[in-house]
Amino acid sequence: MLHNYLKIALRNLRSQRVYALLNVLGLTVGMAGGLLIFLFIQYHLSTDRHHTRYDRIFRVVTDLHLADGSVENYPEAPLPMASALRNDYPQVEQAAYLKMNRELTVEPKSNASASHPSVRFLEHKSTALVEPELFDILDYEWLRGNRKTALNEPNTVVLTESWATKYFGDSDPIGQTLTLNHLVDAKVTGLLADPPKTTDTDINLFISLPTLTKLDSTFDQSSWGALNSTDRLFVTLKNPETVGSMEAAMPALLKKHFGIDAKYYQFHFQPLRDVHFDVKRIAGGAIRPSLLWSLGLVGLFLILTACINFVNLATAQALRRSKEVGIRKTLGSTRVQLIRQFLLETALIVLTATTLSVLLILITLPLFNQWLAIHLSLRMDAQTLGFIVLLLVAVIGLAGSYPAAVLSGFSPWAALKGTLAVNVRGNFSLRQSLIVLQFVVCQALIVGAFVVATQVRYLHEADLGFKKENIVVVTLPNQQKERRETFKNELMQYPDIKSVSASHQPPSSRLLYGGSFKMDDKAEWEDYPIRERVADADYLKTYGLQLVAGRNLSAGDTIREYLVNEALLKKMNIFDPKQILGRKMQYYLSPVALPIVGVIKDFHLRSLHDQILPCFVATYSPFFNQAGIRVSGQNPIQTLQHIRQVWEKLYPGEVFEYSYLDDQLAKFYETESLVFRLVNTFTGIAILICCLGLYGLVSLVVAQRTKEIGVRKVLGASVANIVTLLSKDFVKLVLIAIVLASPLAWYVMNQWLADFAYKIDIAWWVFALAGILALGIALVTVSFQSIKAALVNPVRSLRSE
C-alpha cells in the first residue's frame, strides 16, 4: 500500500511541476530562515556552557550606590577578595582573580634567527594575568604542562595552540621565552587547546599573577578599593543554592574592608549563564535575551508563513484534483486513505525542502558569518538534529493537515459534476486571514528594518559634541615628556597634519574613569562622581571641543586647573556658565582644590545609550598613553606613512598601530549593526514568502473565475478592467495587514529604542513608506498572474471546464 501511495504521489508531483517547485521553494526559504535563527540562538545560549561546573560558576560583580540614589554597575571585584573567599567561606569551592585584556608588547626571543627574525606583537585583547586557581573553575584542555603548577611562579606564561604557532611557528613552545613590555622575560610552561568560540573569557595568553608586580610596579595587590574595568573574579560554589547565603554575607565583608564607605558598595554573585547577556556591565557589546526571543518569534513566523503558502497553493489545486478525489471515492477509497495519500505528498515536498534548506545553510553560512562577524556552524549534534526532526514533523502537520482534510472531504457526486466552486470559495475567508497574517509579519518587519536603519544611521551621524572625522589615534608607549613633545613637534611640521594632542583617551570611549570630587572648601564630597578626560592643552583644538565660557587649559604635567562640561553645571543648578569660573574643585588625583577656568559644551563620553555625565578635562601627563592626530584627509596614505616614520624613529623596538577615531566609535554599535543586518535578512525572506503566498492565492482565484473572465472580455472588458477586478481584493487584504501591523510595529520598535538615551522619533512616513512598499510588492505579484489571465483568449476561457 505504501509503495502505491508513493508511486501516485510522485506521479502527481511530476504532473504539477510548477506547483511542486513553488511549494519546495517557499518551504526551503522559510525553513532555512528558521534553521538560521535556531543556529544564532543556539550559539548565544551555548556561551560558556562547555564548562563542566557551569551551573556552579559565578562571577562576582560590584554595584556602586551613590549618595544621590543612583546605582552604577561594574563587572569587576577587588583582587584580595579572591583569597578571602577561598579561605573564609566554606560554601566556596574555588575562587580566582584575573586581570583581562592587559595591553602588551610581546616579543618571542628564543626562535630568533637569521632566517626567522624575532617579531614583536602588540596584543590588545585575549591576554590576562591570572591566578592558577582559574583552571580549577573554567575548563581548558591541557596539551602540555601541569595546570596545578604552570602559573605558580612569577615570569611564567601559558599559551593556546594557535598563539604558540603565531609566536614560535612549528617549534616546541615549552621552555621558550616571551618578553613582555620590554620588562619581563617570561617562560612558556604550558600549552592549551584553543578554547571554543562560544566563550566570553577568550584568553590565549595566560600570565601568572605574580608577574604583575614587574609589569606594573604601582599596582597595589592588597587594595580593596583599586577597582578596574579589566578585573574579574570567578568563584565555584559547592552548592549553587548557597548563593543566597553568600550574598547575605557580603555586607559584613564590605564593612570589614571598606569601613564607613561600605554603604556605597554591594557585591553580587552573578551566575555564569547571565554573564553573556549582562547589558548593564558590557558597554554596547552584549546581546539582550529579548533579541534572541524576538528572533525566535520571527523564525516561527517565517516557518508559519511558509506553511501558509503551502496551504494556499494546495487549495489552489483543489479544483484540478476534485475529479481525482471523486473517482477514488467512487472506487472505494476511504477518507483516511486519501488523507494518507495527500500527507505523503506533503511529506515528500517537506523532506525535499528540508534537505535543500540544510544545503542552502551550508552554502551560505560562511557568507552569513562574514557579514555578521560571528562564528555560526551547522554541526549535526543532538540539539540540531532534534530541531530539524521537530521542524520536519511540525511543517508536515501544519502544511499538510488542512489541504488533506479539504481535499479528502469533497463529495464524490459534486466533484464529478464539477459543482465544487462554491464550496471551495466558501473557505476563502480563511485563506484571506492567512494572507493578512503573512502581510502583518511582512509589514512589521519592513517597519522594523526602516526604524533600525534610521536609528543606526543616527548613531553614526549624530553630533557628539566634537569632530570625530580625520583623527588618527596612535599609542604613546613611552611616558618621557621630551620624546612626546618631539613627536608632536615633528608631526606638526607636515602640511597635512593640523593638530596633535596627547591624552589618556579620546572624548568618547568605552572606558569611563572618574571619582569623587568636592567644590570650593567644602568638607563633604559631592554625592555623585565626576568623570575625567586627562589631556594636554591641544585637546580642544584637535577634537573640536567648544568652549562656551572662560579659557583653555594652560600647558602642564600635573593638574593645575579644570575645564568642566555643561552637564556639571546642570547638576549644580548653575544656569550661567560664567558663574562657575574661578570656583575651585578638588579631585582625588589632586591633594588641593584648583580653579575652574573654562566651560566646555557637552560632548558624549560614551555611546548614545548613555546620558552625558558631569566631566572635567585637565592636564596630567603620567596618564598620557595615546595621541590624537587631526589630518587634512587629502593625502591619507602619505600622511600615515609620515606618522609611522616619525613614530618608529622616536619609539624604536615598539609596534606601530593606528586606528581612525570614527572606526573606534563605530564599534560602540556593533550589536545595533548586527540587529540591522539580521532584520534586513529576515525581512527579505518574509517578502519572498509573502510573494509566493499571493501567487498561490491569485492562482486559486483565476482558476475559479476563468469563465467569468472570459464572459467579461466578450462583453468588452479591457485588460486593465480584468487586472483591477482580480487585484482589488488583494489590495484590501494588504491594507488590512498594514492597519493591523502598524501599531504592533510601533510598540515593538519603541521598546527597542527605549534602550537608547538618545534616539530618533518614529515618524509617520516610516509606516507610509513601509505600507507603500508592501502594497507595491503585492501588486507586482498579483499583476503577474492577473495580466496573464486577462490576456488569455476568451474562447479558451469559456471552453474551460
Q: Are 470 and 772 in contact (CB under 8 A)?
A: no
What per-residue confidence (pLDDT) applies to 579? Answer: 92
d(CA 100, CA 130): 8
Task: Transcribe 177-231 into DSSP letters.
Answer: EEEETTTEEEEEEEEEPPPPSS-S---SEEEEGGGHHHH-TT--TT-SS---TTE
Q: Which of 42-46, 218-222, 395-399, 550-554 has the lowest mean pLDDT?
A: 218-222
Helix (H, G, I), strand (E, B) or coil at 419: coil
Residues 6 or more apart from 127 whose CB is under 8 A from it? Answer: 100, 101, 102, 103, 104, 203, 204, 205, 207
Q: Are 646 and 510 in contact (CB under 8 A)?
A: no
What per-residue confidence (pLDDT) applies to 754? Answer: 86
> H or E element: which one contains 122?
strand 121-123
605: its cell numbers = 563620553
Helix axes 243-258 and 80-88, enclosed angle (nearest 10): 120
Q: Are 357 and 25 in contact (CB under 8 A)?
A: no
CB neighbourhood size of 87 (10 A): 9
Residues 6 or more apart from 385 whose CB is under 8 A from it? Answer: none
Average pLDDT, the chain: 84
What per-residue confidence (pLDDT) applies to 335? Answer: 63
For residue 487, give Cα distances in angstroms to 81, 619, 736: 42, 18, 66
How would you write 539-560 as a 3-class SS string? HHHHHCCCEEEECCCCCCCCCC
Q: Quick one: average pLDDT of 83-101? A: 91
- Beta bridge partners, 70, equal none
Which tens digit of pLDDT belongs to each residue from 195-221? 988 888 889 999 999 998 888 877 777
What per-residue confidence (pLDDT) applies to 595? Answer: 94
For 698-716, b where at least 16 C-beta lie within 10 A, e where not — what string?
A: bbbbbbbbbeebbebbeee
> How would residue 625 be classed by pLDDT, with cut points 50, 70 and 90?
confident
Per-residue pLDDT for 230 more than 70? yes
Residues 6 or more apart from 162 whose CB is under 8 A from it? Answer: 194, 204
Residues 6 or more apart from 235 whose CB is under 8 A from it? Answer: 57, 58, 59, 60, 85, 92, 93, 94, 95, 96, 137, 269
d(CA 448, CA 677): 12
Q: Quick one: average pLDDT of 3-22? A: 61
CA dihedral 616, 619, 622, 626 (to 10 degrees): 80
Q: Quick one: average pLDDT of 537-565? A: 93
Radius of gyration in angstroms for the set of CA atoms belonging to the chain, rounded to a whole number: 34
Per-residue pLDDT for 331 more than 70? no
d(CA 54, CA 196): 15
d(CA 112, CA 168): 9
Q: Which of 160-169, 320-329, 333-342 has the lowest mean pLDDT?
A: 320-329
Amino acid letter, residue 793 = N
Look up cell 524576538; give the residue. 294
What per-residue confidence (pLDDT) applies to 546? Answer: 95
Q: Which of 272-276, 367-371, 472-476 has the lowest mean pLDDT?
A: 367-371
Q: Which of 34-48, 329-343, 647-661, 748-762 has the lowest mean pLDDT?
A: 329-343
What per-residue confidence (pLDDT) applies to 629? Answer: 95
Q: Are 74 and 63 in contact (CB under 8 A)?
A: yes
d(CA 765, CA 744): 16
What per-residue confidence (pLDDT) applies to 709? Answer: 72
What per-residue confidence (pLDDT) applies to 424? Answer: 41
Angle, CA 576 vertex, CA 573 and CA 577 arms, to 5°: 95
CB neighbourhood size of 590 (10 A): 16
Per-residue pLDDT for 318 more than 70? no
d(CA 12, CA 321): 10
Q: If we measure between CA atoms, which residue out of 227, 224, 228, 142 comes closest to residue 189?
A: 142
Percent with pLDDT over 70 in the chain: 86
- Beta bridge partners, 594, equal 585
Helix axes 17-45 and 2-15, enclosed angle (nearest 10): 110
| Phi and psi, residue 506, nearest 5° | -70, 175
d(CA 740, CA 447): 12
> How would residue 422 be classed by pLDDT, with cut points 50, 70 and 90?
very low
For residues 62 and 431, which has the higher predicted lDDT (pLDDT)?
A: 62
Residues 6 or more apart from 592 whose CB is under 8 A from it? Answer: 586
CA dihedral 308, 314, 319, 321 (to 10 degrees): -160
Q: If we measure between CA atoms, which residue out of 219, 195, 194, 224 comes closest to residue 209?
A: 219
> How would residue 160 be classed by pLDDT, with cut points 50, 70 and 90?
very high
What per-residue confidence (pLDDT) applies to 329? Answer: 59
> How would residue 481 be classed by pLDDT, with cut points 50, 70 and 90?
confident
Look up cell 564607605; give the residue. 261
Q: What is the pTM of this model?
A: 0.82
Per-residue pLDDT for 9 more than 70? no
Q: Are 103 and 180 in contact (CB under 8 A)?
A: no
Percent with pLDDT over 90 in the chain: 36
249: its cell numbers = 554575607
What per-residue confidence (pLDDT) applies to 410? Answer: 55
> H or E element: which one contains 63?
strand 57-65
Residues 6 or more apart from 160 whose CB is under 8 A from it? Answer: 191, 192, 193, 194, 195, 203, 204, 205
Which tens digit of pLDDT belongs to each residue from 741-764? 999 999 989 988 888 888 899 888
What per-residue confidence (pLDDT) applies to 743? Answer: 92
Report the residue count for the chain: 801
Which tens digit of pLDDT belongs to each residue from 373-397? 788 888 888 888 999 899 888 888 8
- Beta bridge partners, 585, equal 519, 594
Per-residue pLDDT for 695 more than 50? yes
Per-residue pLDDT for 689 more than 50? yes
The alpha carbon dihedral of 504, 509, 513, 517 has a sign of positive
Which of 215-219, 266-270, 514-518 has the largest mean confidence?
Answer: 266-270
Per-residue pLDDT for 718 more than 80? no
What per-residue confidence (pLDDT) applies to 114? Answer: 47
DSSP label at 475?
E
Per-residue pLDDT for 283 more than 60? no
Look up cell 534537505; give the residue. 355
Per-residue pLDDT for 453 more than 80? yes
Look up cell 569632530; give the residue. 467
Q: Quick one: average pLDDT of 30-35? A: 90
Angle, CA 502 vertex, CA 496 and CA 503 arms, to 5°: 135
Per-residue pLDDT for 462 more than 70? yes
What per-residue confidence (pLDDT) applies to 4? Answer: 58
How many CA within 13 A on the CB side of residue 84?
18
What per-residue confidence (pLDDT) applies to 428? Answer: 47
What per-residue confidence (pLDDT) applies to 494? Answer: 92
Which tens digit of pLDDT belongs to each residue from 697-715? 777 677 667 777 777 777 7
Which tens digit of pLDDT belongs to each residue from 734-744? 899 999 999 99
Per-residue pLDDT for 644 more than 90? yes
Q: Quick one: average pLDDT of 724-731? A: 81
Q: Quick one: average pLDDT of 225-232? A: 82
What per-residue confidence (pLDDT) applies to 692? Answer: 78
DSSP label at 154?
S
Q: Which of 100-104, 248-252, 634-638, 694-698 has the lowest mean pLDDT?
A: 694-698
What per-residue confidence (pLDDT) applies to 322? Answer: 61
Give 15: exposed, middle or buried? Use CB within 10 Å, 0-12, 13-18, 19+: exposed
Query: How many whole angstroms from its chain centre is CA 127?
Result: 23
